[in-house]
Amino acid sequence: MTDLRSTPELDAAETFSFRTADGVDLRLRRVGPVDAPAVLLVHGHGVSSEMFALPEIRNITDVLADAGYQSWLLDWRGSCRLPYNESGSPYTFDDVALYDIPEAVARIRDRIGERPLFVVAHCIGALALSLSMTAGLLPGLAGVVAQGVFLTPKVSTSARVRVLLGSELLGSRVSHIESDFRKVGLWSRRTLLYAALSRKGDCPDPTCRMVHHGWGMGAKLFEHDHLDPRTHNRLAELFGAIPLSVLPHLRQMELAHAVVRWNVDDDRYAALPENALDHADRIDCPVLLLSGSRNEAWLDSNKLCCEVLSARNPGLDVRYTEIPSYGHLDTFIGRGAALDVFGHIVDFLDETSARSA
């Protein structure tokens, strides 16, 4: 099997490696009480499952364990702890929706039996999850929490233009964008490009400036002051490379204001709907849509999603909660997220569990 990068944080938990149907090696970690309801945690792009398990703060797995839930942390193919963003074959989020998430759910179900299984997904992980769910590939989930975005992606005009330029102008010349400025160095032929991408912001750390403003896409990924200094000091560990090959799929989704399939002429992906929003009636569990009030990455995408789903699918249990003063990623990695954010998630899980008991 492909050598998966190992870290002390990953090795400290019970870890399961598995291979998807298209031959990609992924990883799950299980933490929390035995014989408890399970929660699959799905990270965003360019980070890893470590975003849910930061040891310097009271993280979501700590809170879930105290509330009586078992966490399963997935590293899908977009994880910075796996090699695929830098050296793997190009992929789209169709692959994540068709292979990664359903296979992870199947592996968890093999271990937990009939116990309830929830999913908490962030950003691109939530987009891929919505495509899996509306394809009918994840029946019987107990409930879903989607942070930042779900079925109706929406970005600012400036971000849209930057994604267009990035995919058209850089895609043929640069395969991926590094987050850690130290990996670029001062004498690389790409130094000026990375300097331009990381020019925004007042922080003296160029890696922070790079990721804080979305790798040059013009949208802040977090509220800088919400980070614990220890988290800030290891941003280069927490963020990895972003492959530019995924940008055309993101651009297509945003233009449609819906999660759409990229591989429309490839029969291997025929199980996925061409437009996920048109098949939202396949969602068979309660959904909590979360977003920070200062989310510059996806604006009010989840508020819009709640309104659209409530109008088009009135039988669906969907609700929207906005977190005051929070941005996008700080809803999970912020030093105060345990107090300000995670309680909403636990309350939703508890309420849903009680109703189905």
Place of tokens 């969602």: 283
In this predicted structure, which of 96-100, 154-158, 167-171 has the lowest mean pLDDT? 167-171
**Do 138 and 281 reside in the same domain of the chain?**
yes
In a domain, 29, yes or no: yes
One domain, residues 43 and 174: no
Q: Pick the last residue of a domain from 214, 243, 272.
A: 243
Domain that holds residue 340: 14-153+259-356
HEC secondary structure over the chain: CCCCCCCHHHHCCEEEEEECCCCCEEEEEEECCCCCCEEEEECCCCCCHHHHCCCCCCCHHHHHHHCCCEEEEEECCCCCCCCHHHHCCCCCHHHHHHHHHHHHHHHHHHHHCCCCEEEEEECHHHHHHHHHHHCCCCCCCCEEEEECCCCCCCCCHHHHHHHHHHHHHHCCCCCEECCCHHHCCCCCCCHHHHHHHCCCCCCCCHHHHHHHCCCCCCCCCCCHHHCCHHHHHCHHHHCCCEEHHHHHHHHHHHHHCCCECCCCCCHHHCCCCCEHHHHHHHCCCCEEEEEECCCCCCCCHHHHHHHHHHHHCCCCCEEEEEECCCCCCHHHHCCCHHHHCHHHHHHHHHHHHHHHC
Q: Is residue 193 part of a domain?
A: yes
- List of long-range contacts for 157-166, beta carbons under 8 Å, 24+ apart: 158/218, 159/214, 159/217, 159/218, 159/219, 159/297, 160/251, 160/254, 160/255, 162/216, 162/217, 162/218, 163/217, 163/247, 163/250, 163/251, 163/254, 164/251, 166/216, 166/217, 166/244, 166/247
The better pLDDT of the pair 207, 29 is held by: 29
Q: pLDDT-derived band of residue 204, with 50, 70 and 90 as boundaries?
A: confident
And the tokens for 73? 């942390």
Say whether pLDDT at 91 is over 90: yes
- Do 163 and 279 lie in one domain? The reply is no
Do 142 and 186 lie in one domain? The reply is no
- The answer, as to whether pTM is greater than 0.85, is yes
* Residue indicated by tokens 């997220």: 337
In a domain, 68, yes or no: yes
Do 349 and 216 share a domain, yes or no? Answer: no
Residue 327 has pLDDT above 80, yes or no: yes
Q: What is the pLDDT of residue 4?
A: 42
Do 129 and 22 belong together in one domain? yes
* Residues 136 and 181 occupy one common structural domain: no
**Where does residue 115 rank: exposed (0-12), middle (13-18), buried (19+ CB within 10 A)?**
middle
The answer on 170 and 137 residing in a single domain is no
Domain contains 8? no
Is 3 domain-assigned? no
- CATH number, domain with residue 320: 3.40.50.1820
Residue 218 lies in a domain: yes
> Which pLDDT tens digit goes with each residue over 46-58?
899 999 999 999 9
Higher per-residue pLDDT: 192 or 202: 202
Only one residue has tokens 């963003």, namely 85
1 is a domain residue: no
Q: Do 268 and 239 sit in the same domain of this protein?
A: no
Across 245-265, average pLDDT: 92
Triad 134, 138, 143: Cα angle to 5°: 90
pLDDT of amino acid 1: 37
Compute the distance between CA of residue 25 and CA of residue 34 in angstroms, rounded to an integer. Answer: 26
CA 286/CA 44 separation, integer angstroms: 21
| Shared-domain flag, residues 122 and 269 | yes
Number of domains the chain is built from: 2
Nearest to 27 by CA among 125, 87, 100, 90: 100
Are residues 164 and 274 part of one domain? no
Task: Verify that 149 and 171 share a domain, yes or no.
Answer: no
Burial of 339 (0-12, 13-18, 19+ CB in 10 A): exposed
The residue out of 187, 208, 243 marking a domain boundary is 243
Asked if 342 contacts 60 with a C-beta cutoff of 8 angstroms, the reply is yes
How far apart CA 327 and CA 225 sit, in angstroms, is: 11
Q: Is residue 40 part of a domain?
A: yes
Mark which of 216, 243, 270 sits at the end of a domain. Answer: 243
**pLDDT tens digits for 42-86?**
999 989 999 999 999 999 999 999 999 999 999 999 999 999 988
What percent of the chain lies above the pLDDT cut of 70?
83
